Amino acid sequence: MRSLKTRGGLRFVFGITACLLVIGLTATACTSESPEIDIFPVNKYPEAASFLALNTGKLVVENDVLRLKSGGDSHLLIWPYGWSYRISGIQVEVLNQDGEFIVRSGQYKAFGGGEVISMEPYTGISPSGNAGGPYWLVGSVDDASFWHDQRWYPGLAAALLAAVGAAIWVFRRRRKA
């Protein structure tokens, strides 16, 4: 009789774990509206000198512009000459001058370049309401992804939490018996 209780408890725990895994994986696939980009500032100088600073963070769409979120800071990015973007589903993808994919919104990357106080000298565009500074003049984007930049990460985290919870529950049940 004792083995049936344990077996039933394990079935319950594995069922809950499976449900949490499915919820975690489907939550990462939820969609929302396609983003809009009002302004995509690009450096007007083809052979511009590049700053040597490095800023890491998440590329986000905020108030219809692409910004780099790093801690409490938010920089509007000024992209290198010839770069462009495209909307792909719910994400904005940035392309280099050859049309090759570089980075998409939601990714954590390392951006080489440096902070500038105004975008007008580099782009010829006067900032409007959404395009306030500070600004980051992008020189390069590191193609190395961060560990939490993966689509499967939330699902894996939910499954691991469920497995730890299940192990604790089984351990406590065995101690009582």
What is the pLDDT averaged over residues 144-148? Answer: 55
Residue 10 pLDDT level (bands cut at 50, 70, 90): low
What is the pLDDT averaged over residues 129-153? Answer: 73
> Do 57 and 141 reside in the same domain of the chain?
yes
> Do 60 and 93 reside in the same domain of the chain?
yes
134 prior amide bond cis, ω within 30: yes
pLDDT tens-digit readout, 59-77: 999 888 999 998 888 999 9
Domain-located, residue 46:
no
Between 42 and 46, the more confident residue is 42
Domain-located, residue 109:
yes
> Do 57 and 135 reside in the same domain of the chain?
yes
Residue 28 pLDDT level (bands cut at 50, 70, 90): very low
User: What total number of domains does the chain contain?
Assistant: 2
Answering whether pTM is above 0.75, one says no
> Do 163 and 99 reside in the same domain of the chain?
no
Give me the pLDDT at residue 1, please: 45
Q: What CATH code is carried by the domain that includes residue 71?
A: 2.40.50
Question: Range of 170's domain?
Answer: 2-28+152-176
Long-range Cβ contacts of 8-16 (<8 Å, 24+ apart): 9/169, 9/170, 9/173, 10/170, 13/166, 13/169, 13/170, 14/166, 16/162, 16/165, 16/166
